[in-house]
Amino acid sequence: MSFTPRFPMFLHGGDYNPDQWLDRPDILERDVEMMQKAHVNCVSVGIFSWALLEPEEGVYNFEWLDEVIDRLWKGGIHVILATPSGARPAWMAQKYPEVLRVDEHLQRHHFGERHNHCLTSPVYRQKVHDIDTALARRYAHHPAVILWHLSNEYSGDCRCPLCQEKWRQWLKDKYGSLDELNRCWWTSFWSHRYTDWSQVEAPSPMGEGSITSMWVDWRRFSTWQCKTFMMAEKAAVQAVDPSLKCTANLMERFWDYDYFDLAEGMDVVSWDSYPAWHSGDDVAKAAEFAMNHDLMRSYKDQPFLLMESTPSLVNWKPINKLKRPGMHLLSSLQAVAHGSQSVMYFQWRKGRGGAEMFHGAVVDHDGRDDTRVFRDVTAVGQALERLQPLYDAPNARAKVCIIYDMNNRWAIDYAQTGMPKNMRYFDTVCMHYRSLWKLGVSIDFRDMRDCTDLSGYQLVIAPMLFMFRGGFEEKLRSYVQAGGTLLMTYFSGVVDEHDLAFLGGAPHGMTDVLGVRSAEFEALYPQDQNALVMKDGRRFPIHELAEIPEPLGAEPLGVYESDFYAGLPCLTRHAFGQGQAYYLAAKPEQEGLDAIYADLASQLALPRALPDALPEGVVATERGGAVFLQNYSGKEQRFTLSGAYTDLLTGQAVSGDTAMPENGVMVLTK
Ligand code: GLA
Ligand code: ZN
């Protein structure tokens, strides 16, 4: 499967901003030579070019871009062409202030910055449509152009009068009547009942902030708004050439929108990956970013593109540190291992001014091509060429699926319970993921949409599935009934899709499947000590969150060590139908989860990328029959491989006693 059929190769390159260098034709000329030297084959162009493309309303200036694209094409460099809607020209903001966003404090922004347009404004949508159409007419058939990059990092929401009206309309369509809205939002609380649609405003710290159901709806509305905006851009460019595919670049840990939903509106997912390597624990970072990659693969259940990453460092983290030798190749190939068809950077050449003048780039202010960073980048380009046989190879269908659902995440984050603002859903999902990732087990992510199909998975993990929507409990029940293994945790099945508590006990509709009911739930202070004590005596400390269970027939595998609920089950297993359901009532540390999942992996004989035991921090990931062996441990490692392989990167035979340098990576094939 290729999303760039005009150029079905691993893409290597990055954001290229020639518009910042138009007065330096010598530099533009040199760029192409240097790209060739760096084994760069593709750049993303035009992301923030609107002011140059349309210097006056309705007056387009494409000559400079014609030259840039032709020059690149002559040099054998392909182009991912962006629509420029991520930032608008000053004249537009001045003439049509409605294109500017109104923030949560109900303040209209002035011209400046980026990613801050109103998603509703008919003027903005029209202007975007016009420039997108003009770009498509001019370039969609250019042989260099292989993909559309829609806007940039869509994000945020707007509370202008136009958006408020759109919000009310969306609510009318969803609820049909104000009575139904009042019911689903539980507005009898604090006398917040609405008696006329015109009273309903967007949630805001200046107004309504206490109706959590409303907040969750606001996030759904914002997702829908962004999706319609994005799909209008897609329709505009594909009206000219339907065969040229569209992507939008997504972000890590992103919260504003539901990416499963948004991804439905694009042809291929791409994303921008910026791990803070060497900030303390590279193994934890690697697990987190492996999870991000697997999420991106899962959103559309197909390969994805790494659209941005830094060749060296960023300039916006609290501390900006360079990648240590080896890490650039290692982290780039991590993306490939998990399904990427590209390694792209922000950015090709460092600009001379502005907020990003110190952001890492392939070419620094010194303009040299003999730097450490340039050599690292070149090595990635060469590696991708050697890995080309894997280009079309998808990741095998995983046998494990983690339920990760944005509606659930919003509901948890808005809920005022436990340790408010510290329920850490994303991190919790990541901890569960990490335990199996380190064993080399492939993992898919699924959410609670109707299309989710759990059949075929040996293990389904539902960490903190606080909200059940779309009757998902029925899906889980049938899955276990038919022979599946489910692991569910504390704080699951508490609210319905309107964020209203289920009456009659939690996890809703699952207590007979799990053989246990959650009777009470509490948060622990950091100094509180308790533990999960397994039947065989192993002891795993628990922290932050704990539930007191009422056993309903499940077999206790481990019990609470202390406090007034000492001896009550903390980890249980229950046979149901042909399958089994585990329930974890409290939050263990990583070691505890690792042990629980190691037991499960061997019990279920989950497929692993490599059969061999690897040192801590050395991880194996399988794609297309190749095993990406990655050393995140921060030191050299030695281990024994039972099979005989060839490293695709070096062509060398690898077997038996094997040494891997710090930040080393190998791609093993049989
Ligand atoms: C984001 C943006 C880029 C750039 C980088 C810097 O990913 O999309 O335009 O600002 O961050 O890391
Ligand atoms: Zn608006």
- Between the CA of 423 and the centroid of ligand 1 the distance, in Å, is 28
CA proximity to 167, closest of 116, 201, 215: 201
> Ligand 1, closest atom to CA 48?
9
pLDDT tens readout for residues 229-243:
999 999 999 999 999
Domains and CATH numbers, the chain: 11-160+219-275+304-390 (3.20.20.80), 400-604 (3.40.50.880), 618-669 (2.60.40.1180)
DSSP 22-68: TT-HHHHHHHHHHHHHTT--EEEE-TT-HHHH-SBTTB---HHHHHH
| CA–CA dist 169, 443 (Å, integer) | 39
Confidence class for position 197, pLDDT limits 50, 70, 90: very high
- State the ligand closest to the CA atom of 108: 2
Mean pLDDT of 544-548: 95
- State the ligand closest to the CA atom of 160: 2
pLDDT at 23 over 90: yes
Structure token digits, residue 398:
């995983």
Mean pLDDT of 632-639: 98
pLDDT confidence of residue 11: 98
Confidence class for position 395, pLDDT limits 50, 70, 90: confident
Residue nearest atom 3 of ligand 1, based on CA coordinates: 346
pLDDT confidence of residue 421: 63
* CB of 447 sitting under 6 A from ligand 1: no
| CA–CA dist 286, 116 (Å, integer) | 31
pLDDT at 1 over 90: no
What does DSSP assign to residue 171? H
Residue nearest atom 4 of ligand 1, based on CA coordinates: 346
Burial 407-435 (b: 16+ CB within 10 A, else e): bbbbbbbbbeebeeeebbbbebbbbbbbb
pLDDT at 422 over 90: no
Identify the burial level of 450 via C-beta atoms within 10 angstroms of its C-beta, where 0-12 means exposed, 13-18 middle and 19 or more buried: exposed
pLDDT confidence of residue 654: 98
Confidence class for position 638, pLDDT limits 50, 70, 90: very high
* CB of 4 sitting under 6 A from ligand 1: no
- Between the CA of 43 and the centroid of ligand 1 the distance, in Å, is 15
> Ligand 1, closest atom to CA 251?
7
pLDDT tens readout for residues 35-81:
999 999 999 999 999 999 999 999 999 999 999 999 999 999 999 99
- Between the CA of 379 and the centroid of ligand 2 the distance, in Å, is 45
- State the ligand closest to the CA atom of 320: 1
Confidence class for position 419, pLDDT limits 50, 70, 90: confident
> Ligand 1, closest atom to CA 315?
12
- Between the CA of 168 and the centroid of ligand 2 the distance, in Å, is 13
- State the ligand closest to the CA atom of 159: 2
pLDDT confidence of residue 442: 98
| CA–CA dist 664, 331 (Å, integer) | 10
pLDDT tens readout for residues 97-137:
999 999 999 999 999 999 999 999 999 999 999 999 999 99
* CB of 20 sitting under 6 A from ligand 1: no
Mean pLDDT of 15-38: 97
State which amino acid sits at residue 79.
Answer: V
* CB of 153 sitting under 6 A from ligand 1: yes
Residue nearest atom 1 of ligand 1, based on CA coordinates: 272
CA proximity to 85, closest of 59, 36, 123: 123
- Active centre residues (catalytic): 153, 308
> Ligand 1, closest atom to CA 153?
8
| CA–CA dist 438, 434 (Å, integer) | 6
> Ligand 1, closest atom to CA 308?
7
Q: By percentage, how much of the chain surpasses pLDDT 90?
A: 98
Confidence class for position 584, pLDDT limits 50, 70, 90: very high
Residue nearest atom 7 of ligand 1, based on CA coordinates: 272
* CB of 308 sitting under 6 A from ligand 1: yes
pLDDT confidence of residue 489: 98
Residue nearest atom 5 of ligand 1, based on CA coordinates: 346
Mutate to test the pocket of ligand 1, among 153, 314, 317 (most ligand atoms within 8 A of CB): 153
- State the ligand closest to the CA atom of 162: 2
Residue nearest atom 12 of ligand 1, based on CA coordinates: 314
Compute the C-alpha angle 215/216/222, nearest 5°.
85
| CA–CA dist 153, 265 (Å, integer) | 15
Contacts of 652 (CB under 8 A, 6+ apart): 646
Contacts of 493 (CB under 8 A, 6+ apart): 465, 466, 468, 473, 502, 506, 507, 508, 509, 510
Q: By percentage, how much of the chain surpasses pLDDT 70?
A: 100
Q: How many Cα neighbours within 13 Å face the side chain of 514?
A: 31
pTM for this model (two decimals)? 0.98
- Between the CA of 116 and the centroid of ligand 2 the distance, in Å, is 10
| CA–CA dist 185, 536 (Å, integer) | 47
> Ligand 1, closest atom to CA 274?
12
* CB of 152 sitting under 6 A from ligand 1: yes
- Between the CA of 346 and the centroid of ligand 1 the distance, in Å, is 6
Mean pLDDT over the full length of the chain: 97
Contacts of 122 (CB under 8 A, 6+ apart): 162
Say if CB 201 and CB 215 are below 8 A apart: no
Mutate to test the pocket of ligand 1, among 85, 272, 312 (most ligand atoms within 8 A of CB): 272
- Between the CA of 153 and the centroid of ligand 1 the distance, in Å, is 8
* CB of 154 sitting under 6 A from ligand 1: no
DSSP 174-219: HHSSHHHHHHHHTTTGGG---SSGGG-----TTS--S-HHHHHHHH
> Ligand 1, closest atom to CA 152?
8
